[in-house]
Amino acid sequence: MKTRRTRSLLLIAAVLHGLVYMLLLPPWMGEDEPWHLEYAHHISTGHAPWGGVEMYGAEREEDDDRRLMPLSQLQVRRRIGGLSTGEIRDTQARIIQSMRDEDFFRRVDFAPWHGGATNFDQIQDAFTATHQPPLYYALAALIMKVSGADGPLEELRHVRWLGFACYLAMIALTLSLARLVTKDLAVVALAGFVCAWLPMHARQAAVVNNDVLAKVVGGALLLAGAYQLSIKQGRLSLASVLTLLVLIVFAFATKTTTLACVVCAGFAYVAAPARGDAGKTLLAALACGGVLALGYGYWRYMHSPSLPTNWEDMSERIGRGLSTTNLEELWRTSIGAFNWYSRDLPSGLSSALLFMASLIFLGALWRIYSPKRSDRVMLLMCFAAVLAQVAMITVRGVSAGRYLFPVLPAIAVLAAVGMNALGPIMTRKRVVSGLVIGLIAYDAVFLWRGLLVEQYLVWGD
């Protein structure tokens, strides 16, 4: 890590690794890709992600909007302005035909319609992506327009390159955060490798989903907060405050899963200069609070189901989020679940990974007590970010491993630091080599079992 050449080699290896996933993941096999592509397609044809027609029920059955269109299409009409019924229906029909041509209905266990499906309600009832904030979809629509993509399959393949760029950006963010956390360059390199070779993250290099952009915005927020904590004089510049505000706006315009990163970065900005310029500290605190309030109001206006609507709803979500079933779902979709999460890694591998992750977590905790060339404050921030993200997932009441990825740089840094703390008997070289070999073996099993066997060699039950 002392030279650009070493960093470049790591990034080149990551590029090749990401390209393998790009080539192997079949079309439409990223979770919820049809709905995300539908949203981006409508924006690419010149429609705004606001100003739609509200849905109405009625006392008389014949006046109920649900008699006009399937619920998934009514939701699209509700949130995207200027769309005709025919446009919505035709877009879903063309996407479904492409899914059928690419064997989607034989690959996904819970979608048994081999033929005859004409709308998205027949795949997943009353679901839509159009409640999501519009930034990712605007970028995807721009790619569609610039590339001249024609048809759903071509649009899908072009927009997947955005996920690939986000995958590489996360590795760069992880390396930058690790340099602030530790002076040990071997640990810095290891953190970058963990981020690059974590299979479910690498798989996102080939997925059309706004989670790929959310993780970059979240990682950038964590890096901005860590940078402020690293400044010795403890003063905020106007440029740093503006940077934070821009990142917060990007976060609110991308996905609710970035909220924990917003809170952590805002706290770091307020805490870092506490011994310095009180006026700028107050300015940063007020600005963060104002943007948080505006963001929450915007998400509520967009009818986002990610946010609880009242205390009763929040209590119910927390109960679901803390349930054993939900925590198991978070774990299995973090380490490897395929065919839209309907198939898993071998149970023995899952148990071994859980045991290893527990050891690494304990090692990272030990490094807070005994930092050894690491910054204790930075380590605490990484732990706080991970815990805050888990808390947000709990409040949402629905688990998926990709919801953790906005704090992936912090997870990768803690994994590298924790692994390096596992026992005085082991030398650093053996520890680093062991983790690298283990990740490569894990990735090989994931590629074989998840992308080759499950996606290509196994059909149906």
Instruction: Note down the domain range covering 366.
Output: 4-22+160-457
421 with 302, same domain? yes
Q: Is residue 135 part of a domain?
A: no
Residue 461 is predicted with a pLDDT of: 47
Q: How many domains does the chain have?
A: 2
- Asked if 213 contacts 136 with a C-beta cutoff of 8 angstroms, the reply is yes
**Does 64 share its domain with 18?**
no
Burial category of 171 from C-beta neighbours within 10 Å (exposed 0-12, middle 13-18, buried 19 and up)? buried
Asked if residue 261 is part of any domain, the answer here is yes
**Average pLDDT, 10 consecutive residues per value, the chain (461 residues):** 70 92 91 94 90 70 69 88 88 92 84 75 85 93 91 94 95 93 86 93 93 95 91 74 90 90 86 62 70 69 65 74 83 88 84 86 82 80 91 83 92 89 64 83 90 76 47
Q: Are residues 14 and 64 in the same domain?
A: no
304 & 435 share domain:
yes
Q: Residue 251: inside a domain, yes or no?
A: yes
User: Pseudo-torsion of CA 241, 243, 248, 249, nearest 10°?
Assistant: 110
- Residue 138: inside a domain: no
Q: Is residue 218 within 8 Å of 257, Cβ to Cβ?
A: yes
CA 331 to chain centre: 15
Structure token digits, residue 63: 């006046």
Cα–Cα distances in angstroms (integers) from residue 125 to residues 71, 75, 128, 316, 442, in the given order: 8, 12, 9, 22, 35
Residues 70 and 15 in one domain: no
State how far the Cα of 436 lies from the Cα of 17, in Å rounded to an integer: 14
Beta-ladder partners of 337:
344
pLDDT value of residue 222? 95
Same domain, 203 and 249: yes
**27 belongs to a structural domain:** no
- Boundary of a domain, candidates 128, 146, 168: 128
Domain assignment present for 150: no
Q: In the prediction, which pLDDT does 221 show?
A: 96
Question: Is residue 459 a contact partner of residue 107, using CB atoms and an 8 Å limit?
Answer: yes
Q: What is the pTM (predicted TM-score) of this model? A: 0.89
Q: Is residue 133 part of a domain?
A: no
Judgement on whether residues 194 and 242 belong to the same structural domain of the protein: yes
Residue 29 resides in a domain: no
Residues 16 and 56 in one domain: no
Residues 200 and 119 grouped into a single domain: no
The residues pairing with 344 across neighbouring beta strands, listed in sequence order, are 337
- Distances, alpha carbon 241 to alpha carbons 228, 263, 269, 382, in Å: 10, 14, 8, 21
Pairing of strands 343-344, 337-338: antiparallel
In a shared domain, residues 12 and 38: no
d(CA 95, CA 156): 10
Measured between alpha carbons, how far is residue 190 from residues 1, 198, 356, 418, 436 in Å? Answer: 10, 12, 16, 11, 8
SS3 label, residue 343: strand
Indicate whether 315 and 348 sit together in one domain. Answer: yes
| Per-residue confidence (pLDDT) for residue 135, from 0 to 100 | 94
Q: Which helix (H) or strand (E) holds 338?
A: strand 337-338
Give the pLDDT score at 82.
86
Are residues 216 and 103 part of one domain?
A: no
